[in-house]
Each structure stands twice: as C-alpha cells, then as structure tokens.
C-alpha cells in the first residue's frame, strides 16, 4: 500500500505551529523564530520523513532553491575548505549548491556565471579570478543577488566576505623584521585587479618603508610557468643572508618548496620561508613553516549565509556589506632565525 504523502498541514499540526511558520522555516526565514521552535519543526520533519517538492516550491515562490558558486582555482588548498563551508551552510538553509571552477580564466568565469543565471539560481557566490570588473558590474542588470568571496571589487560595489589581509600581512612582515632578516623575496600571483594581493603587498611595503636596510624583491608568478619559477628562485638565493621567502598563497608555497628541494637548499639553514594559507604540509615539513591561517571554512559559511540573507532581503532596505574575518599568524621555526642551525655549526 502506498505511503500517504505528508503535507505542510501535517507538519504544522504535529509541531503545534501555524502553516506560515512551517513555510518560513522551509524557506530559511528564521527571524523571530525561537531555537526551540526550529528544533521542534526539524524533529517533526525527520519523524514524518517529509520531503518538500522543490518544483512546487519554485513555482509558488518564484525561487529555485539553488545557489551557484564560481571558484577561481580548485588546485589551491584554500579553495577546497571554502567549498566545504559553502556546501554545509547551503544545506543548513535548505538550498542546493552548484559549483563551477574557472581555473584562473576570466572567460571561463563569465561562461559559468551565465550558465548559472540561465539555470535560474537564486543567487551567486563568486570567487573571481580578477580582471573581470566590467563584466561583474554588468551583472547588476540581472537583479540576482551576488556575494564576492575573498577578492572584492576595487570600489566595493558588491557584498563581500574576505579576510583581514592587510592586517595579517602587516603582522607577518613585522615578525620578519623583528627576526632580523636582511632580505625578503615576495612570490605572488599578479597583483593587478586582485584586491587580496594588493592589500598584502601594500602592507609589506608600508612596514618596510621604515626599514631601508632590508632588501625586498617581488616575483610575480604565472600558473604553470615552471621555468619562470625556477628563475625567480635562483634570483632569490642571490639576496643577502639571512633571507626569507614569502609565498602569497598555498599553491605557490607548495610549488616553491618542490623546486627548492631539487636544488638541495635547506630551510632554517640556507633560507627562511613562510606563506599565506595554513596548509597541512606547513606543520609537517621539517622544521615547521610559518603561515598565515585564514578562516577559509568560515569564509565559505559566511558567504552562503550572506547570500541567502540578500535573497530574502527587502530590496528597498538593501545595503552593501563588506566583512573581514580575522586570521591568525602561526609562527614556526622556518622564520625563527635564533633557532636555526648555522652553516658554520653544521660544517664543524
């Protein structure tokens, strides 16, 4: 015998609340709803094995209950945790998440965004590759809520969730100055149209303005150009000692370590190294690599939360939200010069 289909009325009756309250719960509108009421509704839905019809809900509410996320580079360990945060929060808010990867291409980013719009997503989270500002501005005519993740617009004309990049870079640079490094090599992706890297680079320059005795050289990295990376590393090892290398993201850090190992150079002997994104390897590779840990999972969750908030927000009350989540500097032996094994000690 076929099982009777559970309706909203059945859930409302079992939870002892109104049908309107059930509808608000299913649409992620929890304002003025107590935690006890939410827990009761959640329990009843599970007990009755209720499965809402997304098609029916879409026709009635004009919402697809779909969120789109365009991620710049899935090879960066930072991105994987972001996607986890996005997915978990979307699920909590009863939305389905679709993810596309632009792989550093602004043309591919545009294509993915258009496909999501064609599939009637309710909103978009965009981890932009940069150099796409004119296109992003044109999306305002689509009247679809958009939240930028990590990189913002130069004029902050879109909602954005990011890290406190300037403060973190400043704290890292001050640490390197205090440790007595004579030179710094900064390995970074292109800074043009990349607000994150602009903030980090600016902080580095601001701190070093008062330390002319420290030589600083910037190396701009391009994805997949190993020859350029090797050339930059060779140049770095010509800088005065003690020298330290800063990797602007986790992917650059891994690529740099791979090539330097082939050269037979040793961390905390021949050079110091640190980087942004507290990837797992940083705490495993001897003697431990100093990193700036971003709350990448939190960035994902906050972006999804903000997007759903904007989807349900009264358009007349709309205001731009720019939020920075605090990160943490994790100091390890790779930049603690006083703890290094000196070359002359090793050769004795």
Model confidence, pTM: 0.78
> 77 falls in which pLDDT band (50, 70, 90)?
confident
pLDDT for position 316: 61
Average pLDDT over residues 251-259: 94
**pLDDT recorded at residue 156:** 84
pLDDT the model gives residue 345: 47
- What phi, psi does 7 have (nearest 5°)? -110, 170
User: pLDDT for 188-235, tens place per residue?
Assistant: 988 887 899 999 999 999 999 999 999 999 999 887 789 999 999 999
d(CA 242, CA 220): 22
Mean pLDDT of the chain: 89
Phi/psi of residue 330, nearest 5 degrees: -110, 105
- pLDDT recorded at residue 33: 86
**Does the pLDDT at position 3 exceed 70?**
no
Instruction: Please name the residue ranges forming H helices in the chain.
Output: 8-15, 19-26, 35-48, 54-61, 77-92, 106-118, 133-138, 165-178, 195-208, 226-236, 250-262, 280-284, 296-312, 343-347
Half-sphere exposure of 214 (CA within 13 A, CB side): 24
Interatomic CA distance for residues 44 and 98, integer angstroms: 28
pLDDT at residue 344 above 50? no
More reliable by pLDDT, 31 or 247: 247
Confidence class for position 346, pLDDT limits 50, 70, 90:
very low
Mean pLDDT within 13-19: 90
Q: pLDDT (tens digit, 9 = 90+) per residue, 90-127?
A: 999 999 999 999 998 999 999 999 999 988 899 999 99
The predicted structure's pLDDT at residue 208:
97
Percent of all residues in the chain with a pLDDT value above 90, rounded to a whole number: 64
Q: Is the pLDDT of residue 160 over 70?
A: yes
164-181 in b/e form (b: 16+ CB < 10 A) is: bbbebbbbbbebbbebeb
DSSP-derived 3-state class of residue 245:
strand
Q: Identify whether 338 is preceded by a cis peptide bond (ω within 30 of 0).
A: no
User: What would the pLDDT profile of 285-337 be if each residue is shown by its tens digit?
Assistant: 999 999 999 999 999 999 999 999 999 887 666 789 999 999 999 999 999 99
Q: Which helix (H) or strand (E) holds 94?
A: none
Q: What is the 3-state secondary structure (H, E, C) of 281-310?
A: HHHHCCCCCEEEECCHHHHHHHHHHHHHHH
């Amino acid at each position: 015998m076929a099982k009777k289909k559970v309706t909203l009325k059945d859930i409302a009756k079992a939870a002892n609340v109104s049908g309107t309250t059930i509808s608000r719960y299913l649409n992620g509108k929890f304002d003025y709803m107590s935690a006890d009421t939410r827990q009761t509704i959640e329990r009843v839905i599970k007990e009755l094995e209720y499965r809402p019809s997304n098609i029916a809900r879409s026709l009635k509410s004009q919402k697809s209950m779909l969120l789109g996320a365009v991620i710049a580079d899935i090879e960066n360990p930072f991105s994987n945790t972001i996607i986890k945060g996005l997915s978990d929060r979307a699920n909590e808010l009863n939305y389905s998440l679709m993810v596309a990867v632009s792989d550093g291409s602004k043309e591919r980013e545009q294509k993915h965004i258009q496909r999501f719009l064609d599939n009637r997503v309710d909103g978009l989270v965009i981890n932009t590759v940069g150099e796409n500002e004119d296109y992003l501005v044109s999306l305002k005519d689509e009247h679809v809520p958009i939240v930028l993740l990590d990189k913002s617009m130069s004029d902050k004309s879109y909602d954005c969730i990011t890290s406190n990049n300037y403060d973190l870079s400043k704290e890292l640079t001050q640490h390197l100055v205090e440790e007595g490094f004579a030179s710094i090599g900064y390995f970074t992706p292109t800074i043009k149209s990349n607000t994150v890297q602009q903030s980090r680079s600016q902080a580095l320059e601001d701190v070093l303005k008062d330390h002319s005795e420290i030589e600083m050289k910037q190396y701009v990295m391009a994805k997949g150009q190993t020859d350029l990376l090797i050339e930059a590393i060779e140049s770095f090892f010509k800088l005065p000692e003690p020298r330290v290398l800063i990797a602007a993201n986790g992917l650059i850090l891994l690529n740099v370590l791979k090539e330097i190992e082939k050269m037979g150079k040793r961390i905390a002997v021949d050079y110091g190294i640190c980087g942004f994104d507290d990837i797992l390897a940083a705490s495993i590779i001897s003697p431990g690599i100093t990193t700036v840990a971003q709350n990448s999972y939190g960035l994902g969750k906050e972006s999804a939360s903000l997007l759903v908030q904007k989807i349900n927000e009264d358009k007349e009350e709309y205001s731009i939200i720019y939020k920075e989540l605090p990160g943490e500097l994790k100091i390890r032996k790779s930049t603690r010069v006083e703890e290094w094994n000196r070359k002359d000690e090793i050769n004795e």
